[in-house]
Amino acid sequence: MARALVNLAVGTVVFFLVFLLSQSNPSTSPPRLLPPPHHGARPAMALPLFPSSKNSSRTFLHSHRHLLRSDSHSSHPNARMRLYDDLLLNGYYTTRLWIGTPPQQFALIVDTGSTVTYVPCATCEQCGRHQDPKFQPDLSSTYQPVKCNLDCNCDSDRVQCIYERQYAEMSSSSGVLGEDIISFGNQSELVPQRAVFGCENEETGDLYSQHADGIMGLGRGDLSVVDQLVEKGVISDSFSLCYGGMDIGGGAMVLGGISAPSDMVFSYADPVRSPYYNIDLKEIHVAGKQLSLNPSVFDGKYGTVLDSGTTYAYLPEPAFLAFKEAILKELNGLKQIRGPDPNYNDICFSTASSDVSELSKTFPTVEMVFGHQQKLLLSPENYLFRHSKVHGAYCLGIFQNEKDPTTLLGGIIVRNTLVTYDREHSKIGFWKTNCSELWERLHITGALSPSPSSSGKGNSTESPTTTTPDGSPHYDFPGKIQIGKIILDMSLSANHSYLKPQINKLSEFIAKELDVNASQVHLLNFTSEGNSSLVRLAIVPSDSLTYISNETATNIISRLAEHRVKLPDTFGNYQLVQWKVEPSTKQTWWGRNYMVVVMALIIIVVIGLSVYGAWGMWRRKQQTVNSYKPVGAAAPEQELQPL
């Protein structure tokens, strides 16, 4: 009995200690591994957040639980989502999320270094002006605040859960936690799900001035979108990112598992090594030659971290000096020039060509070698960035991480690379590809194929996108048809009411980018879809032709599908949702020209009648003149006719 009382007393004391600790104010987290701005090396442009220590400790426990219960062969749906913007130009990649009922759209920075997803709240008076309107909880019939509990930090009144995140460059975000329905877009197999997110009440620094609305946290933590969806059992414990290349921004993202390509390269990712996504980097090769480095150089502090929110790559001092020396040795024939920004000691080279496809003829290949000798080949676009002031010049996008022994690999390393964060099996996969064509290269149908519900009339031809043996997309037109019309359905990220006054200019820009006449592009429909817009266009043959050639049609569709059409920022980002072609109706010469012939005959008859009438009037006038005789004029003798 006494032992039971003692156990009860001890349990009560532990309970109150845990309660008091859980209600304490959020502590300031240790400095983020993101390098701070400093002279000599370029800082990262993106804004990855760091998780609090509290979330981190809980994350590891949940991670093991997921590993035990997950089934790698289970048939979970996934959420396919598009990425927007450009890592080097904008400093980040964004995706679109819709929150609430009815849905409110937001452009969120994709960040594997953050564990919370947040958007500006309508009540925020210390938030900047961003891409979309603030989230209005009162307009959502499904919104619920997260009430204060043992698993969260609470506000001063201990009524509602709060969050607080800080950046290494002194930016910060704080607000309350809410729960609502989150939708992932029309390419997602995953239906909308309830999830907890941050409703921001204050932001400082670059967060205040950035164009994007907020952050989508993909890190390890209970508030991470991935963790919440896995906890619900609606996706497998995996997600993938695919960033566009040097000349093509955007990309793709998948929440949930996908079938890994057979030649994907994997690295072990220790889930307890750090709060971040680590990889097992062992060696770096330049032009096929291994750098003379001890593998332990890549294991200092947080180890080698892969962070989607960081722009460039940062190596520990010994590794950077060895890499720099090897690159300079291989490029000793190139002219070295000053960088675009005098505040940084960028290492830049002048070349004769500005074509990205030609870079591999000038710059060496770089290989990153993981455990078990798994090698990731880096093309020049994975370690170079364009010189913004000198045409045909490029600069190294790999820098020294000051005195920090952490190896930080940002988005530049994985441009045009599908990166799969297979958290279920504690590994990260890499597959070189063209991210603007990811769905086609993975042989995932539905990304661009028309939906049956919009196939139109019976004379229209639905044309699917396939792939050639080398993986490039191919646009099939069944049979040898003469195309009379191309129907294009496009989604524009700009708000419908904002875009409406300028929509008539869209046809002109489309025509210019597709190298067709403005008279060939017709706006058929313009509707609203949430905070975005849907546009239906038709492209018809020019006046001198009766059909569009298959080559021209392929060129038009591929330009739009592969995002080679550049529209003004006014229209936002676009997505080719579906397309179809309608065959040309064959007509005889008389069928095409009968109206012209009829009009010509009518004109000829009218002119003929007019001329004939004028001639008749003239003849009568002449007869009248000839019948007049003056008085006394001699009359001709007339012969008498016999009776």
Q: Dmax over Cα atoms in the chain, in whole Å?
A: 173
Q: Which of 85, 86, 111, 404 is catalytic?
A: 111
Give me 106's structure tokens: 């937001």
- Judge whether 515 counts as a catalytic residue: no
Quick one: 602 exposed, middle or buried, by C-beta within 10 A (0-12, 13-18, 19+)?
A: exposed
What is the Cα–Cα distance from 546 to 587, expressed in whole angstroms? 9
Burial readout 177-204 (b: 16 or more C-beta within 10 A, e: otherwise)? bbbbbbbbbebbebebbebbbbbbbbbb
Q: Which of 222, 237, 299, 307 is catalytic?
A: 307
- Provide the β-strand partners of residue 616: none
**Token pair 């294009």 is at which residue?**
488
What is the Cα–Cα distance from 224 to 197, expressed in whole angstroms? 9
3-state secondary structure 605-623: HHHHHHHHHHHHHHHHHHH
What is the Cα–Cα distance from 173 to 203, expressed in whole angstroms? 5
Task: Mark residue 158 as left, alpha or beta (left: phi above 0; alpha: psi -120 to 50; beta: remaining).
Answer: left
- Judge whether 111 counts as a catalytic residue: yes
What is the Cα–Cα distance from 498 to 529, expressed in whole angstroms? 13
User: Contact, 244 vs 259, CB < 8 A?
Assistant: no
User: Contact, 7 vs 138, CB < 8 A?
Assistant: no
Phi, psi of 497 (to 5 degrees): -65, -35
What is the Cα–Cα distance from 128 to 204, expressed in whole angstroms? 9
What is the Cα–Cα distance from 588 to 139, expressed in whole angstroms? 60
Q: Could you give the 3-state DSSP secondary structure of residue 58?
A: helix
User: 41 CB contacts (<8 Å, ≥6 apart)?
Assistant: 35, 314, 344, 345, 399, 400, 401, 402
DSSP designation for 378: E
DSSP designation for 160: B
Supply the residues annotated as catalytic: 111, 307
